[in-house]
Every structure is written in structure tokens, then in C-alpha cells.
Amino acid sequence: MNRERPLDDLTARARIRDAALAQFAEHGVKAARLQDIARAAGVSVGLVQHHYGTKDGLRDACDSYVLEQLVQRAKDEEANPDPGGLAALYEGGELMVRYLARALADGSPAAEAFFAGAMRVTEKFLTATWPDRFPEGSAKARDAAAVMSAMHAGTIVLHPYLSRRMGVDVLAREHATAIGTAMAEVYAAMGDFARSEAGRHLTEEHGDD
């Protein structure tokens, strides 16, 4: 796991937090051990406990840190909504993306906040781009935003499978556009399908209104 910053650029407290982010992302909160977090941070277990108390306290600190990053990103996204912009997550650091991937699978306040924010941005995008199809405040816009957000978040959760299939680590910063590029191709193809006779028939069957 690559670090975002050299060890000597961080305070002990921040080193512990970043080491915990990495360990939680890789192993999950339950399987991660304070001893391994301390070793990765270059400190003693006692210092970890001094700063954060228990593993649950450390997990809460990690969630708070990630939430802070997500809130800032959400403010930026509100002005220019981009529901397919997975690469924008890397502005907070690759480590945060990996932590989110695990948090989305395991469940956490940070994951809940991320998904809620993703739905808000996606709904705004849908209603602004296709106001007749997705009227503002409608259940149709809400449901479409929820499903679209789940589709995109699912690619982060399933990153090990995607990485094996695509031949690159899709959560590595240097491959930050891999998922988005493939997703754009899928959407382009689905647009062609929707305009075909089979696509129109399917839409009519499900009562497009």
C-alpha cells in the first residue's frame, strides 16, 4: 500500500490515522490489529492507545477524516455535478478511495455520507440534463439517481474483481480513469441500444413516461 506522504511529513497522530486507513481498507475493521497499525505507523501500541483509545476510537477518527474530505468534495461537486467522475475521488487521496471501498462493503457513517452525497449530485445532474424525463423533486428522478449511484459505487466495492479482469489496479491513482473510461463506453453503447427497435420495445414495456 503506497502512502500519500512520507512518514516524516506527518505527525505521529496523522501517521497512525493513515496507517489505520490502510489497514482497515485492506483487512476490514474487525480483522485489523492495533499491533499492525502501530508497526505501519512506526510507533508503539501504547502511543496508538494514547491518541485514539481503542480500535473503535481509531475507526471513528478515520471516518471523521474521510467525512471531512467528502464534505469538501461534495461542495465542489454541487457547482459542477459529474456523477461519473470517479477520478475526482482521488483529490482526497488514493488511501481515502481504498478506505471508502471497504467502508461501502462493511457499512460506516463515512460510507452512508458518501452514498447520500452521490445521490444528491446524481439527481441534480439528471434533472438538469433531462428535466422532462426526470422532473425535479420527482420519485422518478430520486429512484434513478439512487440506482445510478449504486451502479457507480458498486465498481469501487468490486474493485478486486475489476482489477483482475482489467489487468490493472483500478484503485491506484495512475489508473484513476480506468473505470470511468469503460463506463463511458457502456453508456454510449446503451444509448445506441435505447434508440434501437429492441430498446424502444423494452422502454415501452416498462412504461416510460
Mean pLDDT over 21-42 rounds to 93
Question: Has residue 127 got a pLDDT over 70?
Answer: yes
> 100 or 76, which is more confident?
100
* pLDDT, position 66: 86
* pLDDT, position 207: 55
* pLDDT, position 204: 62
Which three three-digit cell numbers place residue 183?
A: 463506463
> 70 or 169, which is more confident?
169
Please give the model's pTM, rounded to 2 decimal places.
0.73
3-state SS class at 10: coil
Question: Has residue 15 got a pLDDT over 50?
Answer: yes
**Separation of alpha carbons 31 and 33, rounded Å:** 6
Q: What are the tens digits of pLDDT across the range 40-50? A: 999 999 999 99
For residue 207, how many other CB atoms are within 10 A of its CB?
Answer: 6
Per-position b or e across 62-95, b if 16+ CB within 10 A of its CB:
bbebbbebbeebbeebeeebebbbbbebbebbbb
